[in-house]
């Protein structure tokens, strides 16, 4: 019995050390987290959103910005539907935030029966605008530019496999936009995250993808995959030699917001605390360096009501985009 008690004490001690360190006092404020904060990622591990969440989690700890840790949790199911629904069900909870992709807009539009209305969520801050490029495996020596790509896709027809992170996810919209612009049709295969897509492209299980830079950079440096086109208005600093679609006469420009949002009915005190926290992170040297390296645009901090307005405008734009390419083209039905 004695030994058992000692064991329990040892355990309590071990946990105590963790708890003490975790609860080291931060800046005194009206509200601060009283328990660990769930940091929900609406995509799988290894993808852009995942990397961002894990970097932010680490920076929060490193700079001791929160009295309680942030715990990243991936909820990739159904193009983010799982995460959105989870956040909706957490209404009024001050200890959960979501890092978003554009499926934040598109998934509720495409999946009406999900019963999620993002305008009820609590906007906190926009960390970055992410960009897209078109990637193929370097083994495809026949494909050197956009024209040869389009030729190859047309020759393959429905055999051409484009990997992405889910029907209705931003890459599927971009894929649908390309299908419409170039007049071909491809087979779209969803994977649980951008990292898995990249792996399948390197392994030649899919033929192309429109991944974010963060998901492909290391494979590009290793000579496994190559970018053909970027879908930005101007060439990015990190890809000076890759033409934009506009330069080549195709008007396809597409961005993805990376923002932090709370559940519906988050208390105003908590919201202000999070806005403050993420603003500090946004302005940190580490974050700005990450943005440059990974082809993210991080010029402007948009928070709170401004972000709500941005969401409303983007929601409308995505509604139009989905109508113009047709929801069926995106869901593959």
Looking at residues 30 to 69 of the shown chain, list those that interact with other proteins (rule: CB under 8 A).
36, 38, 45-46, 50-51, 54-55, 57-59, 61-62, 64, 69
CB of 200 to other proteins, least distance (A): 6
Min separation Cβ 316 and other proteins, Å: 22
Subset of 118-147 contacting other proteins (CB under 8 A): none
Q: By CB under 8 A, is residue 111 in contact with other proteins?
A: yes
Nearest one of 260, 256, 254 to 37, comparing CA atoms? 260
| Strands 122-130 vs 256-262: parallel, antiparallel or unpaired | antiparallel
Nearest to 30 by CA among 193, 202, 274: 274
Handedness of CA 92, 94, 96, 102 (dihedral sign): positive
Cβ(205)–Cβ(42) below 8 Å: no
Under the criterion CB under 8 A, does residue 16 sit at the interface with other proteins? Answer: no
The reply to whether 168 sits near other proteins by the rule CB under 8 A is: yes
Per residue, the 3-state secondary structure of 115-182, as one string, reads CCCHHHCEEEEEEEEECCEEEEECCCCCCCCHHHHHHHHHHHHHHCEEEECCCCCHHHHHHHHHHHHH
Footprint (CB under 8 A) of other proteins, residues 187-226: 187-193, 195-196, 198-200, 202-206, 217-219, 221-222, 224
| 263 touching other proteins, by CB under 8 A | no
Cβ neighbours, 10 Å, residue 99: 26
Q: Does 282 bind other proteins (CB under 8 A)?
A: no
Q: Smallest distance from the beta carbon of 134 to other proteins, in angstroms?
A: 19
Stretch that binds other proteins, among 73-81, 273-281, 306-314, 322-330 (CB under 8 A): 73-81
284 binds other proteins (CB under 8 A): no
State the minimum distance, in angstroms, from the CB of residue 301 to other proteins: 21
Query: Does 10 help bind other proteins (rule: CB under 8 A)?
Result: yes
Check if the beta carbon of residue 100 is closer than 8 Å to that of residue 125: no
Helix, strand or coil, per DSSP, at residue 229: strand
């Amino acid at each position: 019995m004695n030994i058992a008690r000692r064991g329990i004490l040892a355990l309590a001690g071990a946990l105590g050390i963790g708890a003490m360190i975790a609860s080291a006092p931060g800046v005194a404020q009206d509200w601060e987290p009283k328990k660990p904060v769930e940091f929900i990622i609406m995509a799988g591990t290894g993808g852009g959103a995942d990397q961002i969440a894990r970097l932010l989690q680490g920076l929060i700890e490193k700079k001791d910005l929160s009295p309680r840790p942030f715990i990243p949790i991936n909820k990739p199911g159904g193009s983010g539907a799982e995460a959105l629904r989870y956040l909706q069900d957490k209404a009024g909870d001050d200890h959960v935030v979501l890092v978003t992709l554009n499926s934040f807009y598109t998934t509720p539009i495409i999946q009406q029966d999900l019963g999620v209305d993002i305008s009820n969520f609590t906007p906190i801050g926009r960390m970055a605008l992410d960009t897209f490029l078109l990637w193929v495996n370097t083994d495809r020596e026949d494909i050197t530019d956009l024209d040869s790509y389009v030729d190859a896709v047309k020759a393959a027809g429905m055999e051409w496999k484009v990997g992405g992170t889910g029907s209705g996810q931003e890459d599927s919209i971009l894929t649908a936009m390309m299908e419409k612009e170039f007049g071909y049709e491809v087979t779209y295969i969803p994977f649980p995250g951008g990292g898995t897509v990249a792996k399948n492209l390197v392994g030649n299980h899919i033929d192309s993808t429109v991944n974010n830079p963060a998901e492909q950079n290391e494979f590009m440096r290793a000579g496994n995959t190559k970018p053909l086109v970027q879908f930005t208005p101007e060439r990015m600093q990190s890809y000076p030699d890759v033409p934009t679609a506009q330069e080549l006469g195709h008007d396809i420009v597409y961005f993805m917001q990376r923002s932090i949002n709370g559940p519906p009915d988050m208390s105003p005190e908590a919201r202000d605390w999070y806005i403050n926290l993420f603003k500090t992170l946004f302005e940190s040297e580490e974050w700005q360096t990450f943005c440059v390296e990974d082809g993210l645009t991080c010029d402007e901090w948009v928070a709170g009501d401004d972000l709500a307005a941005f969401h409303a405008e983007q929601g409308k734009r995505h509604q139009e985009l989905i109508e113009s390419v047709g929801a069926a083209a995106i869901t593959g039905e």
